[in-house]
Amino acid sequence: MFTRHYAYWPKRVPRTLTVPRMPIHDNLAVSARRYPDKTAIYYYGREISFRELHAEVEALAGYLQQVLGVKRGDRVALYMQNSPQFVVAYYAILRADAVVVPLNPMLVANELPFYFEDSGARVAIVGQELVDRVRPLVETGAIDKAIVACYHDALPPEPAHRVPDVVAAPAVALDHPALVPWSQALTSGLAPRPSEVSADDLAVIPYTSGTTGVPKGCMHTHRTVQANIVCSVVWNGVTPDGVALSTLPFFHVTGMEHSMNAPVYCGNTFAILTRWDRETAAELIEKLRVTHWTNIATMVVDFLANPRIESYDLSSLMVVGGGGAALPKAVGERLKALTGLDYVEGYGLSETIAQTHTNPPDRAKLQCAGVPLFDVDARIVDPETLAELGPGEEGEILVSGPQVFLGYWNRPEENEKAFVEMDGKRFFRTGDLGRYDEEGYFFIVDRIKRMINASGFKVWPTEVESILYKHPAVEQACVVGVPDLRRGETVKAFIILKQDYKGAVTAEDIIAWAHEQMAAYKCPREIEFVDSLPMSGSGKILWRVLQEEERRKRKVASP
């Protein structure tokens, strides 16, 4: 067991946690009984009590079971932006004894079929603005039913904050019998059957990109999800009187756990933003006396860039932190000067339903992944020999703990490669290169896998390349990650144009086309036309040569 960090473990925090052996949806039921009239969700001025939230979850779960035939273990896709409806849908799927398959709302129509085919989901719950992307699946019978939610329906008559266009848009008529209005599902008057699931049943299958570039579903049980819910609450000192600011997307494991599940478990009020807005975020911190805010570095950079930021009362904040990409040192210092708080960075993956490492709030180190959390055993090993390495030595990060997933959905060969036995424990091979210091703090050095980390979103270059090759002007393409002060990394494509298109197609043309073909975070932000690409003797494109050259140009050290 890795214990080097125990000397710096936060005072009054236990080193081990007992995870409740209960389904996740029971957390909401308990909070609704404890705090029925307390505000659970604050949404642009609308206050939704725990009693109301629980009632809507029960109603939707009843509809899923009684009308749509959802059974124990069925996968249900959740394709929606942050909203009260997302929370209701998430907990209703679980209450119906089914499994949540959260989908990134940035996915475009031609990316969706894979997720439904792979997961086997036949029912979806979607945001109104995404209906046209789902429509082809409905019309071809790839999915049976889609419940459609309009975020506008959750607004108060007179919103107290600036409302994004996607939320302001009123409900539209649905023109297909397989598209079910949200209101119809919630007013059906049907109650769900008594829950039959245990802590060991599947609860959530978030998708991540893997070593082949094909997205893979991570099988998480109620127990693994619950482990990081409780971890988040205890480590961050959350009490029932805390208030969370929910700006991270709920489909993403960090937003799901820290910004939704943890507040529900603890009985907190959480203020939901459908779209990031630095002014509204500051207003909410001041108005609601927000205590905890989990985010990504790009949000903090933008938040602090607000010329009016010093006019807001931010004194209620107790913990501000996140992951995805390291926070620039200067930004961390600015946050400290403004709030008196160190930025608490952490490390985790979809396979671990968010954090395995986090900095102690009272002893945080900038640009550091932190220390292994409750009951987590972490090692640094040689990626080839699996020999364990010591302080300061760089190697692959392995983790074993209560939040580690069961394995990849329908990927037996991948699962054989993903785990290794050490000291009688099952360790997950993260594929990330790291090291730890003498005090047991871990630092991420690079990704062994060829992955681009853009604002916390993982982008697989081969996937982007395969789409670029569909453009009629592209003869060859190589995609790499390049340093970006705002996003951490951004996507750059080197392209050889076909002879007939040289001088006729611009980089802007291809970027605009790419935005119609893939999620925005995957799209190349930069394109450079070249006459040739570096090749190996076997004819493989030497992508690392291009990446290292870009880092040299930008004066960033290569790994």
Task: Please tell me the distance from the alpha carbon of residue 555 to that of residue 551, in angstroms, as a whole number.
Answer: 6
Q: What is the pLDDT of residue 446?
A: 66
Higher pLDDT: 169 or 445? It is 169
pLDDT for the residue numbered 380:
97
Mean pLDDT of 209-235: 88
How confident is the model at residue 328, as a pLDDT? 77
Q: Is the dihedral of CA 351, 352, 353, 356 positive or negative?
A: negative
pLDDT at 558: 43
What is the DSSP code (8-state) at residue 35?
A: S
Nearest to residue 89, comparing CAs of 131, 168, 156, 149? 149
Q: Tell me how far apart the alpha carbons of residues 522 and 473 are, in angstroms, rounded to a whole number.
A: 19
Residue 143's Cβ-count burial label (10 Å; 0-12, 13-18, 19+) is buried
Contacting residues for 546 by C-beta, under 8 A, at least 6 apart: 478, 480, 494, 533, 534
Q: What is the mean pLDDT of residues 131-156?
A: 97
Q: Please report, for the chain, the start and end positions of each structural domain, with discontinuous segments joined by +.
A: 20-372, 452-553
Fold match flag (20-372 vs 452-553): no
Flag whether pLDDT at 290 surpasses 50: yes
pLDDT tens readout for residues 462-513: 788 889 988 999 988 999 999 888 888 899 999 999 989 999 999 999 999 9
Task: Give the pair of three-digit tokens for residue 328.
Answer: 């620039």
Please, which pLDDT band fits residue 161 given cuts at 50, 70 and 90? very high
pLDDT beyond 50 at 557: no
Of 383 and 186, the one with more pLDDT? 186
Mean pLDDT value across residues 236-262 = 97
Picking from 204, 238, 420, the residue whose alpha carbon sits closest to that of residue 319 is 238
Query: 20-372 sits in which CATH class?
Result: alpha beta
Tell whether the model's pLDDT for residue 212 goes beyond 50. Answer: no
Provide the pLDDT for residue 453: 84
pLDDT tens readout for residues 42-81: 999 999 999 999 999 999 999 999 999 999 999 999 999 9
**pLDDT at 556 (0 to 100):** 53
pTM of the model: 0.85
Is residue 324's pLDDT more than 60? yes
> Average pLDDT of the chain?
93
What does the DSSP assignment read for 502-521? TTT--HHHHHHHHHHHS-GG
Average pLDDT over residues 366-383: 95
Q: Does domain 452-553 have CATH number 3.30.300.30?
A: yes
Q: Which residues contact 206 (CB under 8 A, 6 or more apart)?
A: 102, 217, 218, 220, 251, 252, 253, 256, 350, 353
Q: Residue 448: what pLDDT?
A: 67
pLDDT at 210: 44
Kindly report, residue by residue over 175-184, the tens digit of the pLDDT.
899 999 999 9
Q: Is the pLDDT of residue 538 over 60?
A: no
pLDDT category at 213 given cuts 50, 70, 90 is low
**CB of 224 closer than 8 Å to CB of 11:** no
pLDDT reported for residue 536: 60
Q: Do 104 and 248 touch, CB atoms closer than 8 A?
A: no
